């Protein structure tokens, strides 16, 4: 997968222009608030996902304009394609793929693959379990949309069970209906646990190898899935009555606690991902450089697994990735991320001078120009 060119009109502060890119490494440097992240965001939107900055469409329109439009020309192993996005303050948004209208931007999922890293992704390491679960769910959903469907079903059933738990003290006669929701949660939760466990096994191998490269083989890296239901998650390999029964029994054992809390205290919505550097928690003991390297290793491993499944190398988008990394780690990112087209943003051009193959661009007030071939 390669981005050939991007056209922008009224998108944040990007100048209305078309720019082409190297099919290998693209380094974009400039001062803060000049438009570097806007470029990364514009490309990312074509993956079918929402803005990684949490912005609404209306917030991405230039303040003095009524609409914004983006056009991406890209190619996969088969052909070149074009995708277009248009959203306005009043008008209905438009999504086109090869001039064919699509219902929503999410329909682009599967046409254009990309993986993004931004400073906000440090929360995968530094903050609570919710961020790590979201990382897993987003990564698996991009590979297998069926997973996203099971997850939506699980969340609906969980909502119903939690609502029932809040009513049980006032209406104890409803207790016998808990079994119905527990049965559904057990089936869906078991399926989702299997998906996650399988993904973690593959992610652990890929991320450990990438982290070794980042650290110059001086540090060890691993990830472990921490289930609130299964004591030994790696042993959960089959979706059968035994697995479902273990999940169901766990829900039953915690019912009294759940009634007091008014919410379900065990299940895949409570699980976590343990990230370890040299056998110790990266969240608790890792330096800022180790935390950034850990998050980056996970995102690059996500890209590698996506390529294995889809047979297409995703475009890798790395926003402000160089800060807090030593020279060796910077050099690894610039010259050893192979097989994918990469976009890197940074403030200091000196971080990019070790680039062996690719292009360097300068951004100033939203205008992107080639600095070095």
**Using one digit for the tens of pLDDT, what is the confidence trace for 170-217?**
887 788 889 999 999 999 999 999 999 999 999 999 999 999 999 989
The Cα–Cα gap between 167 and 262 comes to 8
φ/ψ of 280, rounded to 5, equals -115, 155
The Cα–Cα gap between 98 and 82 comes to 5
What is the pLDDT, as a whole number, of residue 373?
54
Quickly list H helices, 5-128: 36-44, 123-126
Quickly list H helices, the chain: 36-44, 123-126, 129-143, 145-167, 178-214, 241-253, 255-261, 282-285, 288-310, 327-336
- The CATH class of 2-113+312-372 is alpha beta
The Cα–Cα gap between 282 and 294 comes to 8
**Using one digit for the tens of pLDDT, what is the confidence trace for 253-291?**
999 999 999 999 999 999 999 999 999 999 999 998 899
Question: Coil, strand, or helix at residue 121?
Answer: helix
- Give the Cβ contact number of residue 259 at 10 Å: 18
Q: What CA–CA distances, in Å, run from 136 to 8, 104, 198, 204, 282?
A: 31, 23, 11, 12, 17
pTM for the complete prediction?
A: 0.87
φ/ψ of 119, rounded to 5, equals -55, -30
Q: What is the largest CA-CA distance in the chain?
A: 74
Reference 11, options 68, 66, 55; nearest CA is: 68
Asked if pLDDT for residue 41 goes beyond 90, the answer is yes
Locate the domains of the chain by residue range.
2-113+312-372, 125-283
Under CATH, what is the fold of the domain 125-283?
Answer: Glutathione S-transferase Yfyf (Class Pi); Chain A, domain 2 (1.20.1050)
The reply to whether domains 2-113+312-372 and 125-283 share a CATH topology is no
């Amino acid at each position: 997968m390669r981005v050939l060119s991007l056209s922008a009109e009224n998108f944040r502060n990007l100048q209305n222009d078309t720019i082409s890119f190297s099919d290998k490494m693209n380094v974009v440097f400039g001062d803060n608030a000049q438009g570097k992240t806007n470029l990364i965001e514009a490309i990312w939107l074509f993956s079918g996902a929402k803005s990684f900055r949490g912005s609404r469409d209306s917030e991405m329109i230039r303040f003095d304009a009524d609409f914004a439009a983006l056009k991406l020309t890209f190619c996969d192993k088969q052909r070149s394609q074009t995708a277009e996005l248009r959203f306005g303050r009043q008008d209905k948004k438009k999504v086109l793929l090869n001039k064919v209208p699509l219902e929503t931007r999410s329909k682009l999922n599967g046409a254009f693959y990309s993986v993004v890293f931004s400073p906000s992704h440090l929360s995968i390491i530094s903050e609570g379990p919710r961020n790590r679960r979201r990382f897993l769910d987003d990564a698996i959903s991009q590979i297998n949309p069926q997973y996203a469907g099971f997850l939506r079903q699980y969340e609906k059933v969980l909502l119903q069970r939690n609502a029932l738990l809040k009513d049980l003290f006032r209406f104890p006669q409803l207790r016998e209906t808990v079994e119905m929701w527990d049965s559904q949660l057990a089936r869906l939760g078991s399926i989702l646990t299997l998906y996650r466990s399988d993904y973690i096994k593959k992610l652990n191998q890929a991320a450990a190898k990438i982290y070794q490269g980042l650290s110059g083989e001086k540090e060890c890296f691993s990830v472990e899935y921490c289930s609130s239901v299964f004591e030994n998650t790696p042993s959960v390999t089959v979706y059968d009555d035994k697995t479902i029964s273990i999940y169901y029994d766990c829900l039953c054992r915690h019912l009294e606690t759940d009634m007091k809390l008014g919410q379900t205290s065990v299940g895949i919505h409570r699980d976590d991902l343990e990230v370890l550097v040299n056998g110790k928690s990266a969240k608790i003991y890792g330096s800022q450089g180790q935390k950034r390297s850990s998050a980056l290793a996970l995102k690059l491993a996500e890209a590698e697994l996506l390529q294995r499944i889809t047979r297409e190398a995703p475009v890798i988008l790395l926003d402000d990735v160089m800060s807090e990394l030593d020279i060796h780690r910077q050099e690894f990112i610039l010259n050893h991320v192979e097989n994918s087209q990469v976009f890197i943003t940074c403030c200091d051009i000196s971080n990019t001078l070790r680039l062996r193959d690719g292009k360097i661009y300068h951004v100033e007030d939203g205008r992107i120009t080639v600095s070095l071939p």
